Structure 1
Amino acid sequence: MKRFIWLAALLAATGAATGAAAAVRPPAVGARVAPDSIGIGDRFCLSIEVEKDQVQTVVFPEFSGDGSDGIELVESLPVDTLERRGRLVRLRKRYVLAAFEEGDFALGRARVLYADKNVVDTLRSDDSLFLHVATFAIDSASRSIYDVKPQKHLPFRLAEIRGYLVWGAAALVLLAAVAWVVLRLLSRSGRSVRTLFRPAPPVPPHVAAIRALEALHHRKLWQNNQHKLYYSGLSDIVRTYIAARFGIGAMEMTSDEILTLLRRGELVPPKSATDLAEVLRDADLVKFAKAVPDGERNEADYLKIYYFVEETKRVAEEDAGDPEIDGNHA
């Protein structure tokens, strides 16, 4: 009985050791070249197969394929799964290569990087790979080598461009018809061809200023605590308007210089000059003294600039103004 128990324990220990060895057995690597004999410039396939445990990790090699060693990589195919047996998996990686030099190439043994837990190793195939590249023989004694023949010039035939002529004539007829229709429509409306290419009239200064003011109002800058940006916009709009309306360099002048010039020349009504002075003063306080006006002051300054533009615009420009800007500013 004791002998039987000892034999069973020995068999169990042997089985456990065998199982542990199988669990850590490294993957098996095999490789082959098909075909192993080719003509120069032909392609061949290098296949690398690995049989491994599903928990093990392998990395197949990458070829530079620059042709410096006479062999060039044409295509690297994805890894295929050939077989699964329990925990074992058989993988295959194929490379399509081409050889451009004559001779015998010793490709060596295929290498695969292997990683399993704390083990990192390079595995190689059992057999070395060889490739024979042959070239064609030229019998210069019985055959002569000639240069490339020059291009042969064939006589010109009208049929070769008949289609282009037909479609070109059709396009010309269509363009003539379109031109005739356009001229008829212009003559009925009392206009001429020159009106189609006449540039648009310039936008009057007060129209451009009102549009800019409305765009600034829709941005809601002071409502988001961007007072400096808001007053910079007001100041730039009114300075641009004054420069275009009165022909003075308001963009390069200080606020006092602008007001002095407008009042001295009596270019604007006294009330408009006073409103402009208040807005420019508030703008300078916000930009240079970091003042923060309240909402009522911000809206009041906007309206002062709006009515300043309306009260100082040219009377002759009213007809050329934008019909949509007729008192709409809020």
Structure 2
Amino acid sequence: MKKLLFIFCVVLCANAFSQILSSSLEKKTLALGEVDHIIITINNLNDEKVSAAPENELLPFHFEEVKDSISQTKDIYYRRIEFVVFEEGKFTIPELEFKVGGKILKTIPYEIDVINTAQKDDQINDIMNNKNVKLEVTDYWELYKFYILAAIAVIALIIAIVIFVKYGRKPKDSPVVATNQTLRELDSLKKKKYVETGNYRSFYVELIDISRKFIAKQYRLPADVLLTDDLIDLMKKNNTISQENEKVVEEVFVRGDLVKFAKTFPDQETMEKDLADIREFVKRSSKDLEFENLRKDV
């Protein structure tokens, strides 16, 4: 007798202090889009933490959760989910798991019938008769203003790109840019005082190097890779450079080669004249290009 009483007390205490999960479903038959509720309650938590699927993710596919509210106190976990179903048929809410401490609790499964209450021959009546509304210009503007503004923006962008490509930038290798850059390089050469100090070899090496780069850019001739004799022969055959400029280039380049191989030793006056002649050649180059363009047009 005492043994039975002891077992009864143990079972009673276990039930008194263990968690109890209960669930209830409001409706088991629903119309399409009708709201239903499922409520889950866990008692006797004894300050245990409850772990379950997060809000709006507890129910499976087909059940569109409208609202999922969760509240928990020291002893009670309460969760109320509002949901709808938008397809006809039979659907199952399976066992839903809740972890309390290290223990897994599950609800019972529920079967739900979803039916379409609308009949094929049902007549749908408007609450109010349709009205013809006359739209003003401002109404059309409000309706289509974003499309109009977007179209204007696209057209403006296209115009801006065309203007920029055609007029807004000057090629770095344009005749004016090449001329101004070469004149600055000649000024820098003059400031190095090679003429005054008699350093004729360095003077002619840099002078001819500047001139070759200029001819390559301005006249599109491979002056930076050809030997002097080949370059002079090409200029005479090409007819792009005027005879006056050809003569300057030929005299300075030939003298530069003689200085380079120590076959001649120019004086200060000759060096200054060669620098001035190259400068004038650079300035006159634009006339050569203008004449060439006219010849192409003809």
The interval holding the TM-score normalised by the smaller chain is: 0.3 to 0.5
TM-score normalized with structure 1 length: 0.34
TM-score normalized with structure 2 length: 0.38
Q: Write 1 or 2 for the structure with the bigger share of helix.
A: 2
